Amino acid sequence: MSDAYAISVEALTKRYGDLLAVDEVSFTVRRGELFAFLGPNGAGKTTAVEIICAIRRPTSGTVRVLGMDVTRQKRDIIPRIGVLPQGGSSFDRITVRESIQFYARLFGARNADIDGLIRLTDLTDKRNVQFRNLSGGMKQRLGIAIALVNDPEVVFLDEPTTGLDPHARRAVWEVLLDLKRRGKTVFLTTHYMEEAELLADTVAIISKGRIIATGSPDELIETSSNDLRLSLKAVSASDVELIRTMNFQPVRDTEDSVTVRVRDTGDVHAILSALHETGTTLPDMDVRKANLEEVFLALTGEPLHEVAADQMDGGKP
């Protein structure tokens, strides 16, 4: 087992008293890939990240970063990684440029390319603005710039887009894609499935401390769920009832649209024919594969987000 992997985790377990926060987790992250840890609140993401970054000690298990053991070779690992902590902050009254300079000095990164980092995170216009006057998305991008001051090989970003609006989220995605293009290994935690689906080479789905599936977004969707989703617009209540009598379970998305989980295009055809026979003008429709959110639901029996509590907006690209 060598340097081939940027990160390798074997049977990692963390207990807080009686609580098993991370339960025998194993996975590897290849160099240069963007790896996403996708899971709901309390799944154990931050705990695992903190252990991998040598901030917290594991109860048991082995973690290697760039071929080095995190408990025994912590000092050699720290200079080669960067971290954006969850909900991280900076000093209110210093500017973007000063913040980055401050952390560069703190981490002994004398050669840090401060202006390059400001450009990379698209903060050039804001370089002289104080931290307290930045928007949430700008603060997160500054946090990413700070995580990069030591030009790390592996970057850990713990929920960099949580709470951001779709526009700000996309701006962070741009920065992450740029990091990937520059060959960095990026370890991202998120509870937004479309973020994982869009950005990640590999996704590990974590729930209640355990990894329940790992693979590329496409692989996860292929292996976990072959069914299709048929969405219909402007269908009447009686049409919905008709679909129900055909042994499907239409779910209302909005007032005038429903989604039906079907096995194949034969089912789609059967539903459309039945609607046609009742004299319904065929409605606007869309057939698609399951997404990671639905994969999560199929695997765990629970939604990734509490219903309606954290409605994802139109954050699609």
Ligand X SMILES: Nc1ncnc2c1ncn2[C@@H]1O[C@H](COP(=O)(O)OP(=O)(O)OP(=O)(O)O)[C@@H](O)[C@H]1O
Q: Which H or E run includes 315?
A: none
Q: Which of residues 32-51 bind Mg ion (CB under 5 A)?
A: 45-46
Q: Which of residues 82-121 bind Mg ion (CB under 5 A)?
A: 86
Any long-range contacts for 245-250 (C-beta under 8 Å, 24+ apart)?
Answer: 246/270, 246/271, 246/274
Q: How far is CA 29 from CA 50, 95, 200, in A?
A: 16, 35, 11
Q: Please, are residues 34 and 7 in contact by the beta-carbon 8 Å criterion?
A: no
Cα separation, 24 vs 116, in Å, equals 40
Based on the shown chain and the rule CB under 6 A, indicate whether residue 45 belongs to the binding site for ligand X. Answer: yes
The 10 Å CB-count burial string (b at 16+, else e) for 136-146 is ebbbbbbbbbb
Q: Which is nearer to Mg ion, 46 or 95 (CB)?
A: 46
CB of 28 to ligand X, least distance (A): 20
- Tell me the residue ranges of DSSP E strands in 159-277: 185-190, 202-207, 210-215, 228-233, 251-254, 257-262
CB of 49 to ligand X, least distance (A): 8
Q: Which H or E run includes 5?
A: strand 5-16
CB of 41 to ligand X, least distance (A): 4
Of 4, 41, 119, 288, which lies in the binding site for ligand X, with binding defined by CB under 6 A?
41
Q: Which does 143 bind (CB under 5 to 8 A by kind): ligand X, Mg ion, none?
A: none
Q: Which is nearer to ligand X, 45 or 180 (CB)?
A: 45
Residue nearest to Mg ion (CB): 46
Based on the shown chain and the rule CB under 6 A, indicate whether residue 191 belongs to the binding site for ligand X. Answer: yes
Name the one range near ligand X by CB under 6 A: 44-52, 122-130, 264-272, 279-287. 44-52
Of 8, 28, 47, 95, which lies in the binding site for ligand X, with binding defined by CB under 6 A?
47
Q: Measure CA of the first residue to CA of the last residue in the chain; give whole Å.
A: 38
The 58-87 site mask, x for binding ligand X (CB under 6 A), equals ----------------------------x-
Q: Which is nearer to ligand X, 18 or 277 (CB)?
A: 18
CB of 214 to ligand X, least distance (A): 16
Q: Which is nearer to Mg ion, 45 or 169 (CB)?
A: 45
Q: Which is nearer to ligand X, 47 or 150 (CB)?
A: 47
The DSSP-derived string for 61-87 is: EEEEETTEETTTSHHHHGGGEEEE-TT
Which of 208, 148, 154 has the alpha carbon at shortest distance from 175?
148
Cα separation, 13 vs 295, in Å, equals 25
Site for Mg ion, rule CB under 5 A: 45-46, 86
Site for ligand X, rule CB under 6 A: 16, 19, 21, 39, 41-47, 86, 191
